[in-house]
Amino acid sequence: MTNKTARSARKAPPPADHNRKRPEAPVAYDPTVEELREFYRQMVLIRRFEEKAGQLYGLGLIGGFCHLYIGQEAVAVGIQSALEPGKDSVITGYRDHGHMLAYGIDPNVIMAELTGREAGISRGKGGSMHMFSVEHKFYGGHGIVGAQVSLGAGLGFAHKYNNDGGVCVAYFGDGAANQGQVYESFNMAELWKLPIIFVIENNQYAMGTSVNRSSAEDQLYRRGESFRIPGIQVNGMDVLAVRGATEEALKWVKAGNGPILLEMKTYRYRGHSMSDPAKYRSREEVQSMRDKSDPIEGVKQYLAQAGVSEDELKKIDQDIRKIVSDAADFAETSPEPELRDLYTDVLVEQY
């Protein structure tokens, strides 16, 4: 490089980017009392369902892997309460029970899938990590970390191609955020201005590795910047903050601006899966999150401020306990798939 070109290269500043359009800073959602009650109901349903799944696993009624969503309830509920089931699509990883419940899918068929019964949503052959409901546009349930992000970009493409007005929400974890295919998907989604909301559920750990240990850039909402995808960091323990950010994200995507990234700062109370003794963090750390940031306690406070009585909440709790124990009874007593089902839904041809 001659001095002259070096000088001219120095002189040419990078293109100014300050005028680039950005989403508005989100504000906390202002719910009606009825909406607040519904957030509470759904979050308690997820928590009790997951506790029951943990018990059934302990009793040997659930086999294989089982990843619980306890602690993260405000994320799925805050986001999906803003979506239209059957129009907007949702895809996630293996920690998927909460997202299904938040999309109104019957707890009985989810629990029956966990226990491997014919009546399960994948006819008892998918288990905890592989559940789908095309009717609800819920596309799983994926065990390959990060794969749901590329598949989600495909769902976003389908919404655009079919011009159906839908938006895809693709959830993934802080660990998955370090996968290469995530960035290939970001690039294509932005180039094609796909209607997709990428949601990083940053629960601080990928199996036993904390986000600070694994991530050179641990402010994950910035991970889309190289692709011009704007990002928003959100308190994922506060359902109103989550819903508020989702409203902003939907506005952005529906206006044809292309994808947006939401980083939900959240926390999982249980181990990575049922077989994780969680030795990589202290009990005090978990207890402190429970004491200070529990998403359900947060909604309870909002409800109290809105004048909803303790008795009313107790009634909701009782109703939920009944729904969950009925789901467990159903899942324990309904039949297993027939032996011949070993040969169905299996790819046998060459392709």
Give contact residues for ligand TPP (rule: CB under 6 A). 95, 143-145, 173-176, 203, 205-207, 272
- In the complex, the smallest distance separating the C-beta of residue 206 from Mg ion, rounded to whole angstroms, is 5
Give the distance, in angstroms, between the CA of residue 320 and the centroid of all CA atoms in the same chain.
22
Among ligand TPP, Mg ion, none, partner that 95 touches (CB below 5 to 8 angstroms by kind): ligand TPP
Task: Write down the least CB distance from residue 212 to ligand TPP, Å.
Answer: 13
Residue 143 touches which of ligand TPP, Mg ion, none (Cβ within 5-8 Å per kind): ligand TPP
Footprint of Mg ion on 181-210 (CB under 5 A): 203, 206
Residue 272: name its binding partner from Mg ion, ligand TPP, none (Cβ under 5 to 8 Å by kind).
ligand TPP
**Is residue 173 part of the contact set for Mg ion (CB under 5 A)?**
yes
- Closer residue to ligand TPP in complex, CB, 129/299: 129
Give me the residue whose beta carbon is nearest to ligand TPP.
Answer: 173
Binding site partner of 117, from ligand TPP, Mg ion, none, Cβ cut-off 5-8 A by kind: none
Q: Give whichever of 173 and 231 is closer to ligand TPP, judged by the CB atom.
A: 173
With respect to Mg ion, which residue has the nearer C-beta, 268 or 300?
268
For 234, which DSSP code? E
Indicate whether 120 belongs to the interface with Mg ion (CB under 5 A).
Answer: no
Q: Does 174 interact with Mg ion (rule: CB under 5 A)?
A: yes
Which amino acid appears at position 186 of this protein? F
Nearer to Mg ion, 57 or 94 (CB): 94
Bridge partner residues of 261 (DSSP): 198, 231
Nearer to ligand TPP, 52 or 272 (CB): 272
Residues that bind Mg ion (CB under 5 A): 173-174, 203, 206
